[in-house]
Amino acid sequence: MDLGQTERLKPVLASVKAMIKDEIAPMDEAFLAEVEKGDRWVLTARQSEILENLKSHAQAKGLWNFWDTLGDGPKLSTVEYAYLAEEMGKSHLAAEVFNCNAPDTGNMEVFARFGTAAMKTRWLKPLMAGQIRSAYLMTEPDIASSDATNIAMRCERQGDEYVLNGEKWWATGAGDPRCAVHIVMVRSSNDAPKHQQHSMIVVPADSPGITKLRAMEVYGHDDAPHGHIHFRYDNVRVPAENLLLGEGRGFEIAQNRLGPGRIHHCMRAIGQAEKALSLMCARSVSRHAFGKPLAQLGENFDLIAKARMDIEQARLLCLKAAWMMDQGDKRASAPWISQIKVVAPQVALAVTDMAIQMHGAAGVSQDTPLARQWTHLRTLRLADGPDAVHRRQVARAELAHYASGQNSS
Amino acid sequence: MDLGQTERLKPVLASVKAMIKDEIAPMDEAFLAEVEKGDRWVLTARQSEILENLKSHAQAKGLWNFWDTLGDGPKLSTVEYAYLAEEMGKSHLAAEVFNCNAPDTGNMEVFARFGTAAMKTRWLKPLMAGQIRSAYLMTEPDIASSDATNIAMRCERQGDEYVLNGEKWWATGAGDPRCAVHIVMVRSSNDAPKHQQHSMIVVPADSPGITKLRAMEVYGHDDAPHGHIHFRYDNVRVPAENLLLGEGRGFEIAQNRLGPGRIHHCMRAIGQAEKALSLMCARSVSRHAFGKPLAQLGENFDLIAKARMDIEQARLLCLKAAWMMDQGDKRASAPWISQIKVVAPQVALAVTDMAIQMHGAAGVSQDTPLARQWTHLRTLRLADGPDAVHRRQVARAELAHYASGQNSS
Amino acid sequence: MDLGQTERLKPVLASVKAMIKDEIAPMDEAFLAEVEKGDRWVLTARQSEILENLKSHAQAKGLWNFWDTLGDGPKLSTVEYAYLAEEMGKSHLAAEVFNCNAPDTGNMEVFARFGTAAMKTRWLKPLMAGQIRSAYLMTEPDIASSDATNIAMRCERQGDEYVLNGEKWWATGAGDPRCAVHIVMVRSSNDAPKHQQHSMIVVPADSPGITKLRAMEVYGHDDAPHGHIHFRYDNVRVPAENLLLGEGRGFEIAQNRLGPGRIHHCMRAIGQAEKALSLMCARSVSRHAFGKPLAQLGENFDLIAKARMDIEQARLLCLKAAWMMDQGDKRASAPWISQIKVVAPQVALAVTDMAIQMHGAAGVSQDTPLARQWTHLRTLRLADGPDAVHRRQVARAELAHYASGQNSS
Amino acid sequence: MDLGQTERLKPVLASVKAMIKDEIAPMDEAFLAEVEKGDRWVLTARQSEILENLKSHAQAKGLWNFWDTLGDGPKLSTVEYAYLAEEMGKSHLAAEVFNCNAPDTGNMEVFARFGTAAMKTRWLKPLMAGQIRSAYLMTEPDIASSDATNIAMRCERQGDEYVLNGEKWWATGAGDPRCAVHIVMVRSSNDAPKHQQHSMIVVPADSPGITKLRAMEVYGHDDAPHGHIHFRYDNVRVPAENLLLGEGRGFEIAQNRLGPGRIHHCMRAIGQAEKALSLMCARSVSRHAFGKPLAQLGENFDLIAKARMDIEQARLLCLKAAWMMDQGDKRASAPWISQIKVVAPQVALAVTDMAIQMHGAAGVSQDTPLARQWTHLRTLRLADGPDAVHRRQVARAELAHYASGQNSS
C-alpha cells in the first residue's frame, strides 16, 4: 500500500508546485478583481488574457490533463493525482490552468467512458483542449437531493427525441460564457426499480427552452463568472442518442463519475488547509500581544499542533481512499470515499477558522484569502452528498459485517 | 436573583415582539435589496422611507431608547433590556428602529456619563432622537488590538487643541452618511503607567484630515451603507475640551462602555440562534429523504436537542451576567461578561451552522437568512475582544482565589 | 424566576456547608478505608460509628430530611434544595448524613404520596428517621431498559397476593445490610395500552424467593457496602395491597419519582465539578514544569476558563429546571429535566477529566478523589435514562411546535 | 511510503491473529480471575500454568520476540511490527505471550544497544527467553515529570559504586515477582547543561535499600500482580559499570528507548479501539428499544461512522510514524511520534466510551471488557509524556519553519 510520491510523480509535482508558486498564484487576486468590472458574467479581456497565457504555459510544459483517460497525458494513478490536486487547492486559478477543474474532469470522464463517437468529437475533444467548459446538472430545488432517488426532472421520449422539463440548481460553472454543454440527471421512468428510474443525458447549453433563472449565492457570493446557476428547462428537446448508455442507467454513470471527483475535491481541501495553517503560523510568530508573540499565548501552541495532526490524518485517509480506488474494486472503495468526503472538508474548515481567529479582524476581511476560502470549503460539506449521507454509508458498510439491523435508519 | 421577565417588562416585550413580527422583519429584505441600487454608501430614498416610517411608529408607541440613562424612557434594568435585545436580534432593522443599535447605544452612554453639557446638546440629543449616528474608533491595523494597551494613534496637545495621527479600522457604522461623530481611543502618553497612556476623545466625522481609506469586508461583504470603515487621521485637530474625563482615562471609559454593549450583542446573538433553530426545525419536519422527514434521520433529533440545550444555557448565562451588572459591582461582573462574550457567539454560530446543514445547499444560499447571519455572528468572536482574551480574563479571575501563578500567561 | 438563594435558605446552606467542611468530608476517606476490612457487605463498627455520630449531629442541628413532603422539616423548594444538593456532592458521606441520599429520598416521596397508612408506618417512618434504607428496582439485564416499556418482571395476581418472577439489576443501595424494602417496577399486564402494562409494588427485602446473584461493578468497583445488586426474584409473594395506586399505574408513579431525583443527581454532579475545578486550579499554580507553574503553560488558562463557563451554565440550567418543577406543571418541566440530565453529568465528567490530566499520573491514582469521582459520574450518563433517551425527549418537545414529523425517530 | 502489510508479514500476522483468537484471548478472563485468590502479588499456580503454556506454544510456532534487535527472530520493520501490536492490543495476555510486553521490549532494546557484555548475559538473555521481567523507573512523585529535566533521584559516585537516593513511582510491571531488574533514570549532576544532568543506570530488583512503598492504583485498580509500584531508594548501591553509556547520557538513551515503545502502545490502543467498535456494532444490531435495533435510533449510525473514520485515520498516522522511524532519521520522526502519542489514545478512549454508552449499564460493568479497557487506555494520555507535552513538541516542530517566536511557550 504505497501512499507516497512515486518517482514518476516527483518531477511532475515539482513542476506543478513551481508553476503555481511562480506564475499562477501571483495572478489570483488580479483575476478576481476583474470580476467587479462591467458585466460579471462575461470574462473581461484581462481575465481571458491571464487564463489563456497560463494555460498555454502549462500545455507547453506538459502540465495538462493529468486526469486523462483518453489522451496522451501522463496517465497518473489516483494516488499520484491526489498529490497534484493538493497543490492546486492552494491557488484559485490552478485547477483550470492545468485543465483539471471541476466539473470538467468528471464530465470528460463521462464522455470518455460512456459517450458516443460523435460526443467525443463534439464535446470531449474541445474540453480536453480547454476550449469549452461544461456543467453537471444534478440537484434540484424542490426535493431533498441528498437522496438522489428523489430527482424529478421529467425526461419523456417523443419520437427520436427526449423532452426535458423541470428545474436544476447549483449548476457549478454554468455561468461561464464558455460553458457549452450540460450533462443532466433526469427521471426517465416512475415505474422502474428505484435505482433504475433515472438517466443521464447530454444537452447543449444553448438549447431552446433553457432559462437561467438566477445565480445561486454562497454566503452572498455569486462566484461570477463561474457561478452556480439555477435553471429552468421548458420542453428542452435533444436527440434520443444524447441519452448516455440507455434509460435507467443514470446512477451507474453517477457512481463512476463522483468517486474520483470527491477525492480531488478533498485533496484540494487539504491543500487549502495547509495554506491556512501556514498563514496561521506566520501570523502567530510575527504578531505580538501582552508582550509575547501570539504563538506563545494561551492555547495557540495546542491549536497549531491540533491543526497539524488533523491535516496529516485527513491527508493519509485521502491517499488511502485514492489507493483503494486504484485497486479497481468500486464496492470496496465506496465507503473510503464517503469517509474522506466527511473528514477532509471538516478538517479544512476547522483549520481555516482557527487561522481566521489567529488573524483577529483581518481574518474575516479581504486582507487574507481565508474568509473566501472558508465559504468555498463550506459548500463541500453539502456538494456531492451532505455529511450525513456519507456517514450513513460508512455505518452501513460497517454494520454489513454484523447479523442484522443494518438496513436503513 | 430574578432572571425572569418582570411585570413591568412584559407589555413592553410583547409590543416589541409584535412590532418586529408585524412591521419590521417584513421590511428587512426590501431594505437590504436597495443596497445594490446606485451608490452603496448613500441611503436610497426607499431605505430612508422604510427606516423613518418604522422609527416614527416605534416612537409613537413609546418603544424607543430602552437603554436610556438620560431621557424619560422606561429605564429598564440590564436583565430587562436583555430580553428586548434577544428579540431585536431576529430582524436586521429592529435595533435601529428602536434606536438601540450599536455602537450608538454605547456612545450615548459615554456622552451621558462622561460628556460635557455642550456634547450632550450637540451629540447626545440628536443621537437620542435618532437623527444622527455615531462611530467608535478603537482597533488599529498595525497592532494586535486584542491587547488594547497596544493602541497607537497619536494624540498630542498643541495649545488648545489635540492633534491626532494614525489609522483606525473596523469603525462600524461609519459608512452611514448620517454618521456625524467619532469617539476615538488614542494614545496620549508613552510614559504613564500602562493603563493610563490612553484617552478617549470626541471627533466630528467631517473634521479635516480624516480619510476613508476603504470599507472593510466581512467574508466579502461591505455591509453598506452601515459599513466598517478603515480611516486615516492626518493631523486631525479638535478642541482640547473634546477629550473625555482627562488624559489617561481612556480605559476607564472603555470599561464602562463595553460591558452593556457586550451583553446586548450576546442577547441579539441568542435571538439569532433561536431563529436558526426555528428554521432548522421547520425544515426538518417538512423535507423528506429516504422516505422520512429529515427530523427522523440520523443524528437530527440529537442536533435539535443539543441546539436547544446550548441556547438555554447561553441565555441563562447572559441573564446572569446582566443581573451581575445590575448589582453595580463592576469588578465582580467583569468575568461574567467575559464568559458570555465567549459563549453566546459560539453557540449562535454552531446552531446557525447546524441549521445551514439541515437546509442542504439552500442553507448557504440567498434563500434563507442563515448564511448572512453566520458571517455577521462570526465577527462577534473577535469584536470587543477575541475569545482568547476573554477566556484569559475568566481564568485570571478564577485563579485569583489561589495562592500564586495567576499573573500573566 | 428567582434562581438565587432565598433568605430562608441562606442560614441552612451555611450550616450544611460548614458541617460538610468541618465534620463530614474529613471522615470520607476513613469511612471508605473500612470497606477493605473484613466482609465488604457488612458495615464495620467503625463505619456505623462514623455514620451514626454524624447523623445525630445533623439531626441535632435540624439539618435533616430537607426533601421532606411529610414531616416537619424546612419544606424547601426544589431550587432551594438544589443548592444544598450541590454542597452534598462534594463529600462521599454528606447526602446520607442529612438523610438525603438516593434512592431513599425518591422512595420516601413515593411512600408519602402513594403509600397506604400501613406503609407509612412500616417504611416511611423509619426511612425518615434514617433507621432503615431502601432500594428501587427498575432496570433489567435482558431488555433495553432505556425504553422502560420493555420492563418484563412478571407480576401475577394469585388470590390476595401478587407473585413476582424475573431479574432486576443495578439495585443501588441494596447491598447495604440496612436496606429493608424494595420498590419494584413490574409488568402486570401484556394486553393493556403500552404505558399501562406496568405497576409499582412494595417488597420487603427479606421476602422468600429473593436471591442476590451478584454485585454489579462500576469500572471494577462494587461500591460495597452500598452496592448495585443483581437480583433474581423466584415466586416472590406479597400481599395485594402492596401494589401502589393500582395496576397499570407504574409509569405514573415513576414519572413523579424521577423528576426531583434527577435534579438532585445533577446538582450533586455540579458540586463534584466545582470540587474538581478547585483541585485543578490549586494544582496548576503549585506545580511547575518548563520553568513555569502549569497554569501558565499551553492551553491551561483556556481549560480553566472553559471549565468555569461550562459549570456556570450547567448550574443555571439545573436551577431553571428546578424552578420549572416548582411551578407545578409536570408536562412543562419534563423537557427541562431531560436537558439537565444530559448536560450536568457531561460537564462534570469533562471537568473531572481535565482535572485528572492536570494532575498527571497522580490524577488517575488513589492520591486524589478525582478518579473515583469520575467513575461515579460516568454512571449518571446511563442511570435514570441514557443521554440518548433524554435528548430524544428534548427534541420531541421542540418539534411538537411544528407541523409534523415529530413522532418517533 | 509503503504502509501496507508486506508479503513477509502476512503469514506471521495470520498466525498471531489465529493464536490470539483461538488460544490466548479465551484465557484472559480466567487469568484475571485468579488475581483475587490469595496474595495478589504472587502469581498463582494456575496463572503460571496458563502463561507458560501459551509462551511455549508461541515459541514453538516461532511467534516470539518480534521486536528483536539481537536474536534470530524475524527482524521486522516498525511498520510490520505495528500490525502485530494492533492484534496484541485485543487480548490482555497476548503481548506477554509473544514476549512483546512493555516495558520489557524497551528494556531489551536498551540492553542490546547500550549494555555491556555482562549485562547482556545477565539480563538480556533471560529477558529474551521470557524467564525474567524488568521495570523502567522514570517518573517521580515530587516533581512534574512531564518535564523530565526535573527528575531528581540522586546518583552519587562513591569509589567504584553509585549510590542512589530518592523515590520513583509508576514502575509498571515491578509488582511481578519475576521482575528482576530496574533501569533507572537518575540525576547524576546539578551543574551540567540541562539535558546532560541525567543518567540511566541498571539496578538489580533485589538490591538492599529498595522499598516498595505501595502499589499505585489506576481508577482504583492495582493491576496486580503486574502493578505500578511506588519505590523508595535509600542508599541503594550498584557497581559503577551499571551506569549506561556514561554520566549525562540519560536523555540520549531515553529518546532511543521511547520512540518504538510509543508506537507499540499506540497500535495496541488502535487494536482496543477496533475491539470496542466491534462490540458496539454487535450490540447495536442485537439490542432493541422503541421497536428498533439500537443501530437505527438517533445518532447511532453517525457514531459508528465517526468511530470508523477516527480509527482509520489514527491507524494510518501510526503507520506513517512507524515508517518515519524506519527511515532512520530520529529528528525527523520525533514529531510524528508525538502526533500519534496524542491521537491514538484519545481515539481509542472516545470509541471505547461510545461503546460503553451503547451497552447501557452493562458497559460500565464487569460484563464486558470495555470499562477495564477504558481505565487502561486513560493512562496512555499521561504515560511517556502527557498530551500537552507532545502537542508542544508538534507545535515547536511546525513553527521551526517560521522566522521567530518558536522558542518556548
pLDDT tens sequence across A40-79: 899 999 999 999 999 999 999 999 988 765 555 557 899 9
Residues 6+ apart with CB under 8 A from C26: none
Q: Spell out which residues of chain B touch residue C300, defining contact as CB-CB under 8 Å.
A: 409
Helical spans, DSSP H, in C102-165: 104-114, 117-119, 125-128
**Residues above pLDDT 70, as percent of chain A:** 97
CA-CA-CA-CA torsion sign (B81, B84, B89, B94): negative
Residues B320 and B1 sit within 8 Å (Cβ to Cβ): yes
Q: Does D219 touch chain B (CB under 8 A)?
A: no
The total number of residues shown for chain C amounts to 409
Contact C375 D364 (CB under 8 A): yes
Contact B216 A365 (CB under 8 A): yes
Give the pLDDT confidence score for residue C71 in this predicted structure: 57
Contact D302 B299 (CB under 8 A): yes
Q: Does B216 touch chain A (CB under 8 A)?
A: yes
CB atoms within 10 A of CB C221: 19
Q: Spell out which residues of chain A touch residue D342, defining contact as CB-CB under 8 Å.
A: 305, 309
What value does the mean pLDDT take over residues C110-114?
92
Q: Spell out which residues of chain C touch residue B392, defining contact as CB-CB under 8 Å.
A: 301-302, 305
Give the pLDDT confidence score for residue D72 in this predicted structure: 57
In the predicted structure, residue B335 carries a pLDDT above the cut 90: yes
Residue A354 distance to chain C (closest CA, Å): 15
How confident is the prediction for chain C on average, in pLDDT? 93
Q: Spell out which residues of chain D touch residue A395, defining contact as CB-CB under 8 Å.
A: 295, 300-302, 304-305, 308
CA C201 vs CA B67, C157, C235, D167: distances in Å: 59, 12, 14, 58
Q: Spell out which residues of chain D touch residue A398, defining contact as CB-CB under 8 Å.
A: 277, 281, 304-305, 308
Q: Spell out which residues of chain C touch residue A302, defining contact as CB-CB under 8 Å.
A: 298-299
Residue in chain A lying closest to D407 (CA): A296
Q: Does A302 touch chain C (CB under 8 A)?
A: yes
In the predicted structure, residue C200 carries a pLDDT above the cut 80: yes
pLDDT digits (tens, 9 = 90+) for A77-117: 999 999 999 999 999 999 999 999 999 999 998 999 999 99
| C-alpha torsion angle, residues C245, C246, C251, C257 (rounded to 10) | 20
**β-bridge pairing D198-204 and D179-187:** antiparallel
Q: Does B191 touch chain D (CB under 8 A)?
A: no
pLDDT level of residue A407 (50, 70, 90 thresholds): very low
Q: Spell out which residues of chain C touch residue B385, defining contact as CB-CB under 8 Å.
A: none
Q: Does D208 touch chain B (CB under 8 A)?
A: no
Q: Does B291 touch chain D (CB under 8 A)?
A: no
The Cα C21–Cα D217 span in angstroms is: 26
Contact A360 B408 (CB under 8 A): no
Residue in chain A lying closest to B217 (CA): A365
Cα–Cα–Cα angle for C87, C89, C94, rounded to 5 degrees: 80
Select the residue from A277, A279, A313, A343 to test the D interface by mutation, using most D Cβ atoms within 10 A.
A313
What value does the mean pLDDT take over residues C134-160?
95
The Cα C59–Cα C82 span in angstroms is: 20
What value does the mean pLDDT take over residues B246-254?
94
Per-domain residue ranges for chain B?
A: 9-115, 133-243, 251-399
Strand, helix or coil for residue C392: helix
| B 129-158: CB under 8 A from C | none
Q: Does C291 touch chain A (CB under 8 A)?
A: no
Contact D217 C366 (CB under 8 A): yes
pLDDT digits (tens, 9 = 90+) for A164-212: 999 999 999 999 999 999 999 999 999 999 999 999 999 999 999 999 9
CATH of D134-243 given 3.40.50.20, 1.10.3720.10, 3.40.640.10, 2.40.110.10: 2.40.110.10
A246: its cell numbers: 440507455
Q: Does D402 touch chain A (CB under 8 A)?
A: yes
**Which of D360, D386, D391 has the CB atom closest to C360's CB atom?**
D386
Topology of the domain covering A9-115 = Butyryl-Coa Dehydrogenase, subunit A; domain 1 (1.10.540)
The Cα A6–Cα C336 span in angstroms is: 59
In the predicted structure, residue D406 carries a pLDDT above the cut 60: no
**What percent helix, strand, coil does chain D show, rounded to 5?**
50, 15, 35
- Containing H/E element for A149? none
In the predicted structure, residue A403 carries a pLDDT above the cut 90: no
Exposure of C198 by Cβ count < 10 A (0-12 exposed, 13-18 middle, 19+ buried)? buried
Report the candidate in B99, B96, B180, B93 with the shortest Cα–Cα distance to residue B132: B180
What value does the mean pLDDT take over residues C232-239?
98
Q: Spell out which residues of chain C touch residue A301, defining contact as CB-CB under 8 Å.
A: 298-299
What value does the mean pLDDT take over residues B70-80?
75
The Cα C266–Cα C256 span in angstroms is: 17
Exposure of D84 by Cβ count < 10 A (0-12 exposed, 13-18 middle, 19+ buried)? buried
Residue A403 distance to chain C (closest CA, Å): 18
pLDDT digits (tens, 9 = 90+) for D316-341: 999 999 999 999 888 899 999 999 99
Report the candidate in D242, D139, D259 with the shortest Cα–Cα distance to residue D199: D242
Strand, helix or coil for residue A214: strand
Architecture of domain B133-243: Beta Barrel (2.40)
C133: its cell numbers: 434504607
pLDDT digits (tens, 9 = 90+) for C35-77: 888 788 999 999 999 999 999 999 999 999 887 655 555 678 9
Is the bond preceding C141 in cis, omega lying within 30 degrees of 0? no
In the predicted structure, residue A408 carries a pLDDT above the cut 50: no
Contact A304 D394 (CB under 8 A): yes
Residues B2 and C4 sit within 8 Å (Cβ to Cβ): yes
In the predicted structure, residue C352 carries a pLDDT above the cut 60: yes
pLDDT level of residue B406 (50, 70, 90 thresholds): very low
Give the pLDDT confidence score for residue C74 in this predicted structure: 60
pLDDT level of residue B409 (50, 70, 90 thresholds): very low
Q: Spell out which residues of chain C touch residue D409, defining contact as CB-CB under 8 Å.
A: 297-298
Q: Spell out which residues of chain D touch residue B298, defining contact as CB-CB under 8 Å.
A: 298-299, 301-302
Residues C393 and C148 sit within 8 Å (Cβ to Cβ): no
Contact B361 A381 (CB under 8 A): no
Residue C307 distance to chain A (closest CA, Å): 15
| C 70-109: CB under 8 A from D | none
CATH of B251-399 given 1.20.140.10, 3.10.129.10, 3.40.50.2300, 1.10.599.10: 1.20.140.10
What value does the mean pLDDT take over residues B277-302?
95
pLDDT digits (tens, 9 = 90+) for A255-297: 877 778 889 999 999 999 999 999 999 999 999 999 999 999 9
Residue with cell 437480583: C231
Contact A375 B364 (CB under 8 A): yes
Contact A220 B289 (CB under 8 A): no
Give the pLDDT confidence score for residue A71 in this predicted structure: 57
Concatenate the DSSP letters of all residues of A252-284 into one string.
Answer: HHHHHHHHHHHHHHHHHHHHHHHHHHHHHHHHH
Instruction: Count residue pairs from B and C with Cβ separation < 8 A.
Output: 160
Contact D381 C141 (CB under 8 A): no
Instruction: Identify which has the larger pLDDT, D135 or A406.
Output: D135
Give the pLDDT confidence score for residue C255 in this predicted structure: 82
**Residues above pLDDT 70, as percent of chain B:** 97
Q: Spell out which residues of chain A touch residue B338, defining contact as CB-CB under 8 Å.
A: none
Binding partners of B (≥3 Cβ pairs within 8 A): A, C, D
Residue in chain D lying closest to B296 (CA): D298
pLDDT digits (tens, 9 = 90+) for B121-173: 999 999 999 999 999 999 999 999 889 999 999 999 999 999 999 999 999 99
Residues C167 and C183 sit within 8 Å (Cβ to Cβ): no
Q: Spell out which residues of chain D touch residue B301, defining contact as CB-CB under 8 Å.
A: 298-299
The Cα C152–Cα C197 span in angstroms is: 10
pLDDT digits (tens, 9 = 90+) for B342-392: 999 999 999 999 999 999 999 999 999 999 999 999 999 999 899 999 999
Residue in chain B lying closest to D297 (CA): B298
Give the pLDDT confidence score for residue A364 in this predicted structure: 96
* Neighbouring-strand partners of residue A137: A184
Give the pLDDT confidence score for residue D408 in this predicted structure: 41
In the predicted structure, residue D407 carries a pLDDT above the cut 50: no
The Cα A199–Cα A391 span in angstroms is: 26
| D 313-352: CB under 8 A from C | none
Q: Spell out which residues of chain C touch residue A299, defining contact as CB-CB under 8 Å.
A: 298-299, 301-302
In the predicted structure, residue D366 carries a pLDDT above the cut 90: yes
Residues 6+ apart with CB under 8 A from A122: none
Binding partners of D (≥3 Cβ pairs within 8 A): A, B, C
How confident is the prediction for chain A on average, in pLDDT? 93
Select the residue from A287, A398, A404 to test the D interface by mutation, using most D Cβ atoms within 10 A.
A398
The Cα D62–Cα D51 span in angstroms is: 16
Q: Spell out which residues of chain A touch residue C295, defining contact as CB-CB under 8 Å.
A: none
Concatenate the DSSP letters of all residues of D103-157 into one string.
Answer: THHHHHHHHHHH--HHHIIIIIHHHHTTS-EEEEE---TTS-TTSGGG---EEEE
Q: Does C296 touch chain B (CB under 8 A)?
A: yes
Residue in chain C lying closest to B303 (CA): C395
Residues 6+ apart with CB under 8 A from C18: none
Residue in chain A lying closest to B287 (CA): A144
What value does the mean pLDDT take over residues D206-215?
97
**Residues above pLDDT 90, as percent of chain D:** 88
Select the residue from A294, A304, A309, A319 to test the D interface by mutation, using most D Cβ atoms within 10 A.
A309
pLDDT digits (tens, 9 = 90+) for C287-326: 999 999 999 999 999 999 999 999 999 999 999 999 999 9
* Neighbouring-strand partners of residue C293: C288
SS3 sequence, C275-321? HHHHHHHHHHHHCEECCEEHHHCCCHHHHHHHHHHHHHHHHHHHHHH
